[in-house]
Amino acid sequence: MREIRFDSFGGPEVLTLHHDAPVPEPGPEEVLVQVGFAGLNPLDYKIRDGSSGRAKDLALPAGTGREMAGTVIGAGSGLDEAELGSRGLTVGTRVFGMRGPSDSRGVAAEVIAISADDLAPIPGETAEEDLPRWAGLALVGLTAIAAVQDTARIAEHETVLVHGGTGGVGQLLIPMALEAGASQVLATGRAANAERIRELGATPIPYDTSDWGEEVQRLTDGRGVDVVLDTHYHSTFLPSLDQLADGGRIVALPSLADLSPALERGIEARVPSIVPGRDRLDRLAQGIRSGRYPLEVSEVLPLAQIAEAHRRLEEGHTRGKLVLDVRA
């Protein structure tokens, strides 16, 4: 089968397409999935270049990618037909999901073995052309749930600022913050993406044509916001501390974010931790199905163009999700 691997940490050029990779054998509680599409995330290039904490103990050569959509084609010895049926994961079922935190194997391959607990079925009526969106849903969706529900604990009538409102995570942070009861969501993004931010239910703040800090003060009558959800961090974390109302809190999504500048000022600052689970995957599926979580896929690239996809990720201006077509 075809699989993307890298033998050393480095730039996008270390990613290599292999045509003779062995088909994996599923463990007792694992499902064998024929991958159709694989979602791409900044975490992928941070693991590839060695800058992520997840790269520390990674054995090379290694695969790449964390999330995907595909079709169940088999299962391990611990999962009989009755068990698969109870989970909605019988052979032939289309599924989406992401590898759990302890599973370092990649998903950019034609066939993968993955824990049954890390998968959920895609609704049967889903059109073929909509599958890329499901491939890009799990990681950003679970991240958004962790940020909004577990970490920020957004409550009714609070005002929220999202940095990166049209990125993959940002496009789910906005509707989830509104679901949690936020009375107002402000979101930074490029001026060209202002209409998309409005569609998601937030007030756009174009960082490339205005001073976003001044805009936050204007839009909140000088009060500031109760919560900042910061997907960017490097250029936004420190100035965001001055945009918080009394008792406000900030959530930085990069896992290696340095929170000390906030903590030294007595500001609550936290980094979310993804909590995997079928219940959360089902929540994401219901949100996509109902239209509450209108996640956008900006481009689908063939598997062989993964290096180019990583370059675009690193540029940091991707709108929505980039997805690989593993079949192409």
Residues 217 and 113 reside in one and the same domain: no
For residue 239, the model assigns a pLDDT of 97
Residues 150 and 58 reside in one and the same domain: no
Chain centroid to Cα 128, Å, comes to 21
Chain centroid to Cα 67, Å, comes to 8
For residue 255, the model assigns a pLDDT of 85
Percent of the chain whose predicted confidence (pLDDT) is above 90: 95
Task: Sheet containing 244-252: give its strands across.
Answer: 203-206, 184-189, 159-163, 225-230, 244-252, 268-270
Residues 177 and 73 reside in one and the same domain: no
Domain that holds residue 24: 3-137+295-325
Q: Is 285 a domain residue?
A: no
pLDDT (tens digit per residue) in 44-89: 999 999 999 889 889 999 999 999 999 999 999 999 999 999 999 9
Residues 74 and 9 reside in one and the same domain: yes
Residue 207's contacts (CB-CB under 8 Å, 6 or more residues apart) are: 188, 189, 190
Residues 176 and 300 reside in one and the same domain: no
Would the pLDDT of 175 be above 80?
A: yes
Q: Is 126 a domain residue?
A: yes
Chain centroid to Cα 164, Å, comes to 13
Residues 260 and 305 reside in one and the same domain: no
Q: Is 275 a domain residue?
A: no
CATH number at residue 99: 3.90.180.10
Residues 259 and 171 reside in one and the same domain: yes
Q: Is 22 a domain residue?
A: yes
Residues 32 and 94 reside in one and the same domain: yes
For residue 318, the model assigns a pLDDT of 82
Residues 125 and 190 reside in one and the same domain: no
Residues 157 and 243 reside in one and the same domain: yes
pLDDT (tens digit per residue) in 273-319: 999 999 999 999 999 999 999 999 999 999 999 999 999 999 877 88
Q: Is 289 a domain residue?
A: no
Banded pLDDT at 230 (limits 50, 70, 90): very high
Residues 33 and 119 reside in one and the same domain: yes
Residues 24 and 116 reside in one and the same domain: yes
Banded pLDDT at 322 (limits 50, 70, 90): very high
For residue 328, the model assigns a pLDDT of 87
E strands within 210-262? 225-230, 244-252
Q: Is 163 a domain residue?
A: yes
The mean pLDDT of 199-215, rounded to a whole number, is 96
The mean pLDDT of 99-110, rounded to a whole number, is 95
For residue 271, the model assigns a pLDDT of 97
For residue 3, the model assigns a pLDDT of 98
Up-side HSE of residue 35: CA atoms within 13 Å toward CB? 33
Q: Is 287 a domain residue?
A: no
Our count of domains for the chain comes to 2
Banded pLDDT at 251 (limits 50, 70, 90): very high
Q: CB of 205 within 8 A of CB of 212?
A: yes
Q: What is the mean pLDDT of the chain?
A: 96
Q: Is 253 a domain residue?
A: yes
Q: CB of 81 within 8 A of CB of 75?
A: no
